[in-house]
Amino acid sequence: MSLKIRPYSPNDRQAVRNICCDTGFMGDPIDPVYNDRDAFADFFTRYYTDCEPENAIVAEDDGRVVGYLLGCFKVKSARNRQAWIIVTRTVPKIFGRLLTGKYTRASIKFLSWFLFKAAGETPKSVPGAAHFHVNMYKEYRTGFAGRRLIFPFVNRAAERGFPGVYGQMQVYEDRRAEKVFGRYGFKFIDRKKITKFKDFHDETVWVATIFKEFKPKEVPMPTVK
């Protein structure tokens, strides 16, 4: 495949939101689990696209955005600002849709999980480190494609003096993801079992934190052309 990696632009916002929803259920569309795509995209992408668009990167194939990396360098304020956006922008929309009966039973259950269980099923973060969220359509989920999205951000974080970068991702019982990221200097430092898909999927699913610590005077990894 021939991918173009480029900086995010405001025109990419809807494409990023579409990818988030089209892959939100373990690589498949989120709709059976949660039928409010607008709110789902808000939960996972809105802070990054609206507050730190300069730190986002997209992968484009033949003019179509097929993947993204959303990054955060404003590590001291990001959590509070993201919570403020959800409370003031997303929650009112959710209440309106609940009152008009637009939510399925599965959607109400997912929303309950998000509000009351998600925080407890989130693995630890790394204080002071930059972080990222990377996602792409299934057919582009190769180690090569992911590396091309991640390492421009990794190199920028190193240049800015961060102690390292971390991301959080869904993984399964096998250790394939751990081996892939281990080749690039990432370590799996924590993981938590998540229950949001238990009614739809028998296999145990975890969310893991991967972390790459920067050593003094570390030479950035070359960007793949």
> Domain for residue 116, yes or no?
yes
Q: What is the pLDDT of residue 142?
A: 78
Residue 113 located in a structural domain: yes
Whether residue 222 is contained in a domain is answered as no
Indicate whether 220 belongs to any domain: no
Establish if 221 belongs to a structural domain: no
pLDDT exceeds 80 at position 140:
yes
Q: Does a structural domain hold residue 224?
A: no
**Beta strands 205-213 and 64-72, pairing class:** unpaired
Sole residue written with tokens 């003031």: 88
pTM of the predicted model over 0.85: yes
Residue 20 domain-assigned (yes or no): yes
Q: What is the pLDDT of residue 225?
A: 54
What's the number of domains the chain is made of? 1
Q: Give the whole-angstrom CA distance, residue 179 versus residue 221.
A: 18
CA distance 27 to 6: 23
Q: For 2-6, 38-42, 48-52, 170-174, which range has the lowest pLDDT when averaged over its residues?
A: 170-174
First to last CA, the chain: 13
Neighbours of 128 (CB within 10 A): 10
Domain of residue 103 covers 4-213
Q: What is the CATH number of the domain that holds 203?
A: 3.40.630.30
Give residue 145's pLDDT band: very low, low, confident or very high (50, 70, 90). confident
